[in-house]
Amino acid sequence: MDTPIKSGRGMTRGSRTGKPTPVDAHVGSRVRLRRTLLGMSQEKLGEAIGLTFQQVQKYERGANRIGASRLFDLSRVLDVPISFFFDDMANGPMNSASYGDGAPSYEAKELSKREILELARAFDRIKDEKIRKRILELTKSLGTVSDAA
């Protein structure tokens, strides 16, 4: 397992290879996913938590590690629990023998498709919980039918 290396000002960054660790990349991709789903720019997110958009970019790429207090700020601004940033990691990088070399299990590029974002935004605008539940069940059933074909 690669040990994080020290970079300027006592901050840890990535692995010995200089690449983002799978966990940092995963957390960053979850920040990007939520920010994008909210229709928020990197600049707006940065302003909300006292960073430049370049710093937000580095977080989203996993190039810079997100500390506990910053993760707390992000969860507040993005209106998600802190656990959101670690979702989908049950069988991912933390359990991998190649911790420093593997890619995150989360496929961020698949979730960044325009159609998915439009669907999520439209779904979020539905206020009637019964209708939301029916649409979710319909979507699940259509996915099952697509898998069987």
The string of pLDDT tens digits covering residues 97-113 is 334 444 434 444 555 56
Q: What is the pLDDT of residue 103?
A: 41
> Whole-model pTM?
0.60
- Select from 82, 53, 64, 57 the least CA-distant residue to 21: 64
Q: What is the pLDDT of residue 88?
A: 77
Q: What is the pLDDT of residue 107?
A: 46
CATH topology of domain 5-112: 434 Repressor (Amino-terminal Domain) (1.10.260)
Q: What is the pLDDT of residue 15?
A: 52
Going by C-beta distance under 8 Å and a sequence separation of 6 or more, which residues neighbour residue 3? 15, 16
Domain ranges of the chain: 5-112, 113-149
Q: Using alpha carbons only, what angle is made at residue 12 by residues 10 and 17, rounded to the nearest 5 degrees? A: 130
Q: What is the pLDDT of residue 136?
A: 87
In this prediction, the residues of the chain whose per-residue pLDDT falls under 70 are 1-18, 90-113, 146-149
- CA gap 10, 38 in Å, rounded: 33
